[in-house]
Structures are given as C-alpha cells and as structure tokens.
Structure 1
Amino acid sequence: MGGNKNVSFAVDGTSALNYKEELIKSYNVGQNSEFLKIRSAEDKGRNANKSRIVEKALKFPYIAPNSNFNVAWLVFDIDREFNPIELEDKNIAYPNYVVYNTENGHAHLWYQLKNPVYCQDNFKASKPYKYYKAVYKALRKALGADEHFGGKLCKNPLHPQWKSIQLSNSAYSLSELSAHLDLNWKEDRKARYARKVSVNTDVVEEFGGAEKGSRNSSLFDFCRFKAYAHRMTADCSEAEFVEWCVECVREADKNNPSPIGEESRGEQEIRQIGESIGYWTWANLEPLKIKKEKYDDKDRERSLKVRQKKAEKKLKKIERYMKKHPDASNRAISRALGEGYSTDTVNRAVKIIKVAQAAKAEQSKESAAQVVGLVPPQTMVGERFVNQVVSSAGASALGAGG
C-alpha cells in the first residue's frame, strides 16, 4: 500500500486539471474534446438530467463518470460517514478521489482504470468484462458500498457543493485493485439469485428494512412485481392504473424509510418511480381476459392450418399409392400405408380423390369442346371460299379462265 500514500487533502488546481483531462480521455474523444458531451444533472432526483458540452457539464453537481462504450472509472457509493483510515485497515487500494457530502459525511469513491473496459452488449460475455465485474463486486463488498448504486451519475469532484480529496494520483489495473480481494464468482451468482428471489414478495410490510443500503432499485423492483400481478386482474383505465402504481410506491417507501440518514425521497421522485412502472407495465402486459380472447382466435387459426396441411399430405400419399396400385382396395391401401391411415381415413380420401378426378375429367371435356367449336371443319372452309371468293369474282370469270 506504500505506493498509494501520495495523499493530498483537497483537489487543488493541478489535480482538478488532471481530473478533467483524464475524464475527457476516458470518453475516447482525443483532440475533439470541445465536441464532447457528458451527461450531468442538478440533483439526485435527476432533474435536468441531460447531455451537455464538457465545459458546462463540469459545472453541475452530478456527472456521468463513463461513456456508453467503456468503463474508465469505478465509482462506489458509501452511505455512511467515510474515513479513509478504514481502507488501510482493510488493505484496500486508495481511490483517486473521495467526494464528500459535507452534511452527512457520505462519499463517492472514484477509482481510475489504466485500461478502460469495453462495455457494449456484444462484449459482456467476454472474459475481460466478466473479470471487471468480478473485481468491481468484490471491491464494492470490501468497501461496504451500496450494491444498488448504478453509477450512472456521481458526485462531481470539481463542484463546490462537495468536499473532494485526492488520495492517489495514479490509475489502477484490475489486477492491482483485486490484489487483496476474494473473487468468488460462484458465491456472487448465488447471492444475486437470492436477491432476485427475495425481491419477489407480495406483502408491502415485508419490504420494510429489507436490504441495508438499498436505494430506488430495490423499491422499484419490489413495486414492479406487484404492478405486474395487479395488471393481470385489474379492470381500470390507464390513468387509474398509473395512480395505483404511484400509491404502491408511496406506501412501500413509508414502510422502508430511506437509508440515507434522515433524508427521505421527495414526492416528485416517488411519482417518477411509480409512473415509470405504471406506463411500462400497461404498455407491455395485457390482462388475462384480453390476452385469452385475442390469442384463442389465433390458436384456432394456427391449429386449423396445421390440420389442413397434414390432411393434404395424407391425401397426396394415398393418391400416389392408388396410381401405382389401381386395383388395390381401400382396406389394402390402409394396411399398406400403416399408422395414421385408418380405413375410414382412406375411404374419405378416396371419395375426395374420385370427385376431384371426375371434376377434372369433366373440365377437360368442356375445354376440348370449346377448342373444337373455335376451329371450323373443312367443309365450312370450302363453303366460305366458294361464297366469298368465287362469288365475288363472278362465275363468268371462272368460266373464261377455264
């Protein structure tokens, strides 16, 4: 840990400039930093949360530490009074920046990575990404940080609303961060599964004092499962359903006060969570009654098509057999074709085939008669020649010519 003790107790002009340069570099824009946009916000309620030019974004209290393409900063949320001494006691690497909330001593810890980790969806199954996630979760556990903190918006080290200190001026590799951590991936998967199971409960009171350190994520998860169930049986309008979701979130939050000291969620934040759950659930889930009426007809049509296709295949197979064996009886055909071709099935198929053959033969006769009627016989041709050519030339001319 000796290399980590280059500690300064405030972010001065030099370290602030370094932070700005490293933040720009982590977004992979190089010399085009004047065009860089970083997501920032005024408060943790996410009001005015939008992308801004870097010079403007750095003036907001909350800022996105990473782009949508890679992870260059690991940020952890400590929901208690944080003392850097505990890092030394636990043999944990010092963060590059500790950004304090001066009112309650809670902090965000910023760790800079030497090599950013690509985080697009098509890369999340790769070993480097899985290694990064294992290190991140192990470090979060060692720090006792909030496991529901998403890290999308973090306390900005340059904003005067916070007190920021720099504990390290060098970036870390993942192996350096995990040097004294227990990377037990199997246990991590078990814990994640246990959390999913524990969230899906049906009693609001059970949510009270659920997971320590949980934030809006656990509140959201708890209420959305209740909204899914309610949507399946509710007979109401969209507006009524959304209001029910908002009330559900409000009631759940009362039974589980915010873990951030005495600070409680505002009405706007409650409504945002409830409306988010309500509108999505209404748009993507349908009540069982509507779903049954809609899909019964589709299932019936699909089943009818399947049966028709099978019947056509059987009919063609019986017809081919009859062509090869014209003298075979229906019972002989049934025995020859085997399972699925009972005598009754063959009897019905033979009737259909004979009717189709008779209709086809009749159509052929009609077509032949039509063709014959269009071509006059030879006698007609002779008569026409005599009537049209000879008569017009005159019998005398013919006689003279003779």
Structure 2
Amino acid sequence: MDTAKALLLSDEQWGSDVLLPHRPFATNHLEHGQYRMSRDDALTMRYIQHSPHALLGSIVIDCDHPDAAMRAFEKPSDHPEPNWVSQSPSGRAHLGWWLGDHRVCRTDSARLSPLRLAHRIERGLCISVGGDFSYGGQLTKNPIHPEWETLYGPADPYTLRDLATIHTPRQAPRRPDRSAGLGRNVTMFDTARTWAYPQWWSHRDGTADQWLQLVLQRCHAVNTEFADPLPFVEVRATAYSIGKWIWRNFDEATFRARQAARGSKGGKVMTPAKREANRTRATKFDLATALEYAL
C-alpha cells in the first residue's frame, strides 16, 4: 500500500515541484482580479498560476462537466491519466498533466515547434475529456486548497509526445478569432514575427526602445482579435522576445541575405514539373468541358 501511495503525486510534490513561478499570480475570487504574491501566500488561495508566463510546466484542461473525474480517470478516451484533478463540489474540475523537465518555453521566438506541439496536445486532451476550449489556462484550481477535492494521479511527469492521442489534431487553427489556450501564443508569435522581420529595415536607425515599442503595439493589435485576450504581461513578454531577438541578430548584411534567400525560394516555386502538371490538368479540364458541351 505504501508503494502504491509513493507512485501518486502529493500536495507536497505539487507545491514544491509542479508549481513553477517564484511569485505566482493568485486569487480567492476571479471576479476581483489576480495579484502576484509569494509562493507561501499563493498556496493559500483558491486559484493559482501553475506556470510562469515564459515557461509552460503543465497542461491544464477545464472540464466543465459534473463527471469530470470519471472522464479523467475511469473512462479515459485514449488519454494518459492526469497527474491531478481538482474538482469543485459540483464535480466540475481542472485536470493537470505535469511536464516536469520537459517544460516548454513560450517566449523563445526561435523555437516555435515545441510550442506548436504543445498547442496540438492541449487541443487533443481537451477533445478527449470534453474540455472547455475557451479556458485561458493561466490560473488553475489550487489542488492544495481545502475547498477543492483533489484526486492525484501518477507522480512521474510526462513528455509532450506521451500526451499525444488519437484526438491530437495534425494542425491546429491559427486564425486569431479561432485561437484559444496555447493557440493564442502560437498565433501571436507567428503573426508578429512574420510582420516584424521586414519592418526592421525601416526602423533600423531608431533606438532599441522605439523598436520594442513598435513590436509591442503589433502584438497588442493581434491580442485584441482573440475572443479571450492574453494578459498584458504575456503580450509584453512575447513582444520583447521577438523584438530583442531581431534587434540583436539582424544587421544590414543579414537582412539582405535573408531577403535574397526568400526571393530565391519564391522564384523556384513554379518548377518545370509543376508547370507541366498544371498544363496537363488544364488540358484535361478543357477537353472534358468541350465534350460536355458537345453532348
């Protein structure tokens, strides 16, 4: 029995290992706002920030069904057991999968692949348990708080690939009006950095602060298109990550080489093979159309 207990997550392990921020945002009442505080004080609150803005340490799904625990543990739809389930008296719960040392950086504009994978994994888990796609993901029900009934699962963390299921989409939507959860971070990264690269040339003679302010304005504009906008601190972190990386790594030679490489790729899009394939399709279509009219 002691061995079985040792294999399950505990309050102590959640508070010391799973909870990542040194000064998390927390609150007792969501409608009254959230405030940054010490870990000890935050752990006495009903809702707490499980991961810092820059680093995703857990994937949390809001399961707004009275049988959330059953969906999580007893009848899993091909998903691994969550590390914890914190449920209210109504049965509705937050389900958490801990990533341990496989946490995902959310502010490194040069490595979007892990964040995109995390976005797809999040959507797959949400589909699997019937979760709420509009859940923002920043604050979770504090598993240690006595108001929630917490059921603990495996004590060992998962990798992202461990959490892939038959419900994991091959590609997640990136349109701002369809983005939720981690998809907002991905969309903001993709949209803002794609916009910022060519903009650097026109603003290279300004100051770094002016450049960062410009990128921040663009990120803010993208954020306003989300149905559930990201907190300003996340928008600023994303903007500064993109802006600082470009300002630090771009010079005129690098920019010209990048533009030349893009132009070269653009010129090679229509290869002779593609042109022949298009001509063949067009010929077949014209012949079919002619026969249809002839009949």
TM bin, normalised by shorter chain, reads 0.5 to 0.7
Q: Distance in 1 between the 2:77 and 2:5 partners?
A: 18
Give the 3 Å change call, closer, same or farther, for CA 111–76 of structure 1 in structure 2: same
- Contact 2:24–2:48 under 8 Å retained in 1: yes
Give the 3 Å change call, closer, same or farther, for CA 134–83 of structure 1 in structure 2: closer
Cα displacement string for residues 185-227 of structure 1 (whole angstroms, at most 9, x for unaligned residues): 0xx32xx65x938x9xxxxxxxxxxxxxxxxxxxxxxxxxxxx
- Structure 2 length-normalised TM: 0.53
Verify: 1:118 aligned to 2:113, yes or no: no
- Contact 1:7–1:167 under 8 Å retained in 2: no
Q: What residue in structure 1 maps to residue 54 of structure 2?
A: 69
Verify: 1:163 aligned to 2:149, yes or no: yes
Q: Distance in 1 between the 2:44 and 2:177 partners?
A: 38
Verify: 1:94 aligned to 2:75, yes or no: no
- Contact 1:65–1:153 under 8 Å retained in 2: yes
Aligned-pair identity in percent equals 20
Q: What residue in structure 2 maps to residue 40 of structure 1?
A: 26
Shift of 1:48: 5.0
Q: What residue in structure 2 maps to residue 251 of structure 1?
A: none
- Contact 2:69–2:93 under 8 Å retained in 1: no
Q: What residue in structure 2 maps to residue 133 of structure 1?
A: 119
Shift of 1:182: 3.3
Shift of 1:82: 2.5
Q: What residue in structure 2 maps to residue 311 of structure 1?
A: none
Among 15, 31, 38, the alignment partner of 2:10 is: 15
Q: Distance in 2 between the 1:7 and 1:142 partners?
A: 27
Q: What residue in structure 2 maps to residue 390 of structure 1?
A: none
Shift of 1:21: 1.1
Shift of 1:112: 0.2
Q: Distance in 2 between the 1:77 and 1:7 partners?
A: 26
* Secondary structure, aligned partner of 1:40: strand
Q: What residue in structure 2 maps to residue 82 of structure 1?
A: 67
Q: What residue in structure 2 maps to residue 196 of structure 1?
A: 177
Verify: 1:58 aligned to 2:59, yes or no: no
Where do 1:315-354 residues align within 5 Å? Answer: none
Where do 1:2-401 residues align within 5 Å? Answer: 15-24=10-19, 26-27=20-21, 36-45=22-31, 47-87=32-72, 88-102=75-89, 104-114=90-100, 115-120=102-107, 122-123=109-110, 126-185=112-171, 188-189=172-173, 193=175, 196=177
Shift of 1:122: 2.0
Unaligned runs of 5+ residues in structure 1 are 1-5, 28-35, 200-272, 274-402
Q: Greater shift after overlay, 78-87 or 113-122? A: 78-87
Cα displacement string for residues 118-170 of structure 1 (whole angstroms, at most 9, x for unaligned residues): 001625x6212111111111111222111010111110000011111102211
- Contact 2:124–2:165 under 8 Å retained in 1: no
* Secondary structure, aligned partner of 1:55: helix
Shift of 1:179: 4.4
Unaligned runs of 5+ residues in structure 2 are 180-227, 229-295
- Structure 1 length-normalised TM: 0.40
Q: Distance in 1 between the 2:98 and 2:62 partners?
A: 15
- Contact 1:38–1:64 under 8 Å retained in 2: yes
Cα displacement string for residues 272-322 of structure 1 (whole angstroms, at most 9, x for unaligned residues): x9xxxxxxxxxxxxxxxxxxxxxxxxxxxxxxxxxxxxxxxxxxxxxxxxx
Q: Distance in 1 between the 2:167 and 2:33 partners?
A: 38
Alpha-carbon RMSD across the aligned residues, in angstroms, is: 3.2
Give the 3 Å change call, closer, same or farther, for CA 175–59 of structure 1 in structure 2: same
Shift of 1:18: 0.7
- Contact 1:81–1:105 under 8 Å retained in 2: yes
Shift of 1:90: 1.1
Higher relative contact order (CA 8 A, sep 6+): 2
Q: Distance in 1 between the 2:168 and 2:25 partners?
A: 33
Larger Rg: 1
The one-letter code sitting in structure 1 at the alignment partner of 2:117 is Y
Q: Distance in 1 between the 2:41 and 2:123 partners?
A: 32
Q: What residue in structure 2 maps to residue 367 of structure 1?
A: none
Give the 3 Å change call, closer, same or farther, for CA 144–22 of structure 1 in structure 2: same
Q: Distance in 2 between the 1:81 and 1:162 partners?
A: 14
- Contact 1:7–1:168 under 8 Å retained in 2: no
Q: What residue in structure 2 maps to residue 321 of structure 1?
A: none
